[in-house]
Amino acid sequence: MVSSNKLFEEPGLKQITVWARGVYENKEARDVVVALTEAAAKEGKYVQAWENYVDLPDRIYVPVRAYGKISDQPIESKYVYENETPDIVVLTEETLVKGIDILEGIRPGAVLVVNTKRPAEYLFKFITKGTENLKSIITVDASSLAKSIITLSGAEGATDASGIGKGLGAPLAAAVVKATGIVTFENLLSIIANKQAAKTAYDKAQVVEVKRLVNAG
């Protein structure tokens, strides 16, 4: 019998956690996971995308999370409600590095993608926990490429007709693809609405190895 702590040890599974600010960036968090999982589904992967209901009802600025899972095997942990061991963490807003345990549970080799104008070196100072498993920090000034779209359709986006990746979600998803290659960029582009923002972000996103930041002290 499988021991219970190995129950969901799924080698092919990648977990994506996006942190955002309530109300203002709900759609953007949702769009990052939806765009990446839809692109992965095109590649024949098994996928899931959903919201963390613990964070709801969301209020303005409250940190909220959206989750995605991508696997080349059927997802056994389908009903596990939160991403406990993320491989990819995305922040739709830079201040989320401060005072929030954004890297909780990350697996070795995880990456952090941040929407910011600031250099990774500066952001790194605020991240106090979980950096030993972090491989790189990817910074992209997504806010200069697209806007956050407030849809008032809540975290689930039931009535959101603006299109996947119409706003900030497009450049952020592009930065994830640049850093991880989790899907091909072409497949991502075929899903998202704001293709120009995604292309620019893909070119401009800066990847900084955490090893280098630690050595620089």
Q: Site residues (CB under 8 A) for another protein?
A: 21-22, 54, 59-63, 93-95, 97-101, 118, 122-123, 125-126
Please report how close the Cβ of residue 112 comes to another protein at its closest, in angstroms: 15
Closest by Cα among 64, 67, 66, 92 to 148: 92
CB of 212 to another protein, least distance (A): 21
Could you tell me the smallest distance in angstroms from the CB atom of residue 34 to another protein? 24
Nearest to another protein of 118, 211 (CB atom): 118
Give the nearer residue to another protein in terms of CB position, either 95 or 133: 95
Q: How far apart are CA 8 and CA 144, in angstroms?
A: 39
Q: Which is nearer to another protein, 72 or 104 (CB)?
A: 104
Nearer to another protein, 127 or 188 (CB): 127
The Cα 38–Cα 192 span in angstroms is 10
210 and 179 Cβ atoms separated by less than 8 Å: no
Q: How far apart are CA 211 and CA 145, in angstroms?
A: 29
Neighbours of 53 (CB within 10 A): 12
Cβ 148 to another protein, closest distance in Å?
12
Query: In this structure, what token pair is assigned to residue 20?
Result: 């955002």
